[in-house]
Structure 1
């Protein structure tokens, strides 16, 4: 089922049936504009989901272009099935009336799309609920923080996240994201300054409130912070498992 964006009739959302701990209720697929429309992040190749995209697009003059925010499979799997040109831009250009912002961090090839009306299609840079993962092998927390700062410098009225609900107060959400990462870094630095060098001890101290089932994702987040500190020359020697 499609849902129009609050205050922006030019945007429709369809949620892919791929729920999970990292995708929340599923990947958000967006349709932007009309005659023809642009599909952003088609999500899964589930036949029902693809059918819903085609049906919603038919009401908007068909599909002219498929845009991807990044190359992770939960955003791209159904792209080639839609029968239109698929583009993952490099950033700095305009595609289908959308300005392409290079926003690496969650993925090295991550971009966001910004419309003239202030709608930002943020992919996995910002989620509607919780915080996003900065994974090893392509992720970079230093780049991620720069990307959040880039979004903070834009005039944004609505964020359409890759997962989770619409973000109707972009300024507050972006500030929350920055403060969350700074808080974690502060806790990690405090543990390191206190002499902790074991990864297990650092995780237990800096992520002490995390439920046990989320500890694997917390450990991934910690590695991203440690990599950032090392790159900045602020990581003490002697780190161990």
Structure 2
């Protein structure tokens, strides 16, 4: 069982974690939000979900007792459990009303109905407050607008939903997601502060596990196609061959995973899809 995350944790002299108080199957114990910096004006990373008074009360209490105003609010991606609480946070006007709000632009047309001005972040952009310099790393895959934040002073990464404190993450695009994992690995972080779950103190080991877990499934798909080069398979047929130890009731979820793997392999010019059936390209040798 994962260690219980307190509502408020002073992780270090420059990081305070405030739990979003929105537990669930996908949010685990809740969304982790972070106040970063050492001076009066600091950065808030993510805002939790909408209509969670318990979270707003904890945030208000921390801002008051630590004598903090927010200079910046950075949203890691558009999912409601990370951006939904923005309006409620901004209602704490004395402490948050003058903050600049930042998010990486999304390629999807989504009406988030936020009615506030949000500045567009850029890859490698830096935002600074006293005691903290944050560099933005665009890490698409979970969503197109997903970012990780590199806290330069501590060589720490705020990973959003790209890497979780427990279990593995879901994603929309596996090709982009794998590249994003490699991009985070290249930073050689000493610690990862995830969007859900506890602090990750073995970043390299965790990231390499994420990568190897996905590559293992990919190899199973490639081997199946390689062993049957004269055939082409539907995604459902591949699931029945590869997921032999998985209960049938979970096969639809497995199909989605196989679909994302095949889309990645297609972008790498390793497989071809004809009439919803997949085969290995002739130029791919094992």
Same fold (TM over 0.5): yes
Deviating more after overlay: 80-89 vs 188-197: 188-197
TM-superposed deviation, 1:212: 6.1
> Which one has the largest radius of gyration?
2
Q: Equivalent residue for 2:29?
A: 25
Deviating more after overlay: 117-126 vs 11-20: 11-20
TM-superposed deviation, 1:48: 1.2
Q: Equivalent residue for 2:215?
A: 182
Q: Equivalent residue for 2:57?
A: 51
Q: Equivalent residue for 1:109?
A: 145
Given that residues 199 and 240 in structure 1 are in contact (C-alpha distance below 8 angstroms), is that contact kept between their aligned partners in structure 2? yes
Q: Verify: 1:120 aligned to 2:157, yes or no.
A: yes
TM-score by length of 2: 0.75
Q: Verify: 1:227 aligned to 2:263, yes or no.
A: yes
Cα distance in 1 for partners of 2:217, 2:256 equals 13
Cα distance in 2 for partners of 1:172, 1:155 equals 11
TM-superposed deviation, 1:203: 2.1
Cα distance in 2 for partners of 1:207, 1:130 equals 19
Q: Secondary structure at the match of 1:229?
A: helix
TM-superposed deviation, 1:69: 0.9
Given that residues 15 and 27 in structure 1 are in contact (C-alpha distance below 8 angstroms), is that contact kept between their aligned partners in structure 2? yes
Q: Equivalent residue for 2:127?
A: 95
Cα distance in 2 for partners of 1:211, 1:167 equals 31
Given that residues 235 and 259 in structure 2 are in contact (C-alpha distance below 8 angstroms), is that contact kept between their aligned partners in structure 1? no
Deviating more after overlay: 31-40 vs 57-66: 57-66
TM-score by length of 1: 0.88
Where does the alignment leave 5 or more consecutive residues of structure 2 unmatched?
Answer: 1-6, 91-98, 104-120, 279-286
**CA, structure 1 residues 42+211, in 2 after alignment: closer, same or farther (shift >3 Å)?**
farther
Please give the residue correspondences for 1:168-179 in structure 2 after superposition, counting only pairs within 5 Å.
168-179=201-212
Given that residues 188 and 204 in structure 2 are in contact (C-alpha distance below 8 angstroms), is that contact kept between their aligned partners in structure 1? no
Q: Verify: 1:12 aligned to 2:12, yes or no.
A: no
Given that residues 159 and 167 in structure 1 are in contact (C-alpha distance below 8 angstroms), is that contact kept between their aligned partners in structure 2? yes
Q: Alpha carbon RMSD of aligned pairs, Å?
A: 2.1
Please give the residue correspondences for 1:70-85 in structure 2 after superposition, counting only pairs within 5 Å.
70-83=77-90, 84-85=99-100
